[in-house]
Amino acid sequence: MSDEGLATPEAASADDDWAAAMAEQASTAAVAPAEQPQVAAKMFEQFAPAGNHGHANDINMILDIPVQITVELGRTRIPIKHILQLAQGSVVELDGMAGEPMDVLVNGCLIAQGEVVVVNEKFGIRLTDIVTPSERIRKLNR
């Protein structure tokens, strides 16, 4: 290869480094298959969950994990100046309509909808529609 087309000695050095790397790669590729080290395939053992007594889906492991359940009546956006003007008896308008189902969220993820009920002077929610796992996954992928 001629160095006539190269303008600087640095370019010639870079070209020489490139040529050396290409030559090294060609010499390694030319090694006969018999000379290359043989690599044996490793078989991995199947992991079995410890202490589950043969139950693959033991739900008892997760029964004590706390989750936060929230019921949303609706949402709204108001400027801080209006929040500072709120007083006892003020009404905040929400985007939900009266009679609409309320959203039931677990850790911020919609899992069901329901209607408000009062039992022994306490509020509750009667679930009317449960979101299927496939619908929840589809919403997460959006």
The DSSP secondary structure of 102-135, one letter per residue, reads EEEEETTEEEEEEEEEEETTEEEEEEEEE--HHH
> pLDDT per residue over 113-135, tens digit each?
998 888 888 888 899 999 888 88
Q: What is the extent of the structural domain holding 78?
A: 63-141
- 33 in any annotated domain: no
Contact 110, 127 (CB under 8 A): no
Domain for residue 1, yes or no?
no
pTM, full prediction: 0.48
pLDDT value for 51: 54
Q: What is the pLDDT of residue 89?
A: 92
Q: Is residue 112 part of a domain?
A: yes
Neighbours of 80 (CB within 10 A): 7
Binned at pLDDT 50, 70 and 90, residue 80 comes out as: very high
CATH number, domain of 80, equals 2.30.330.10
Residue 115 lies inside a defined structural domain of this protein: yes
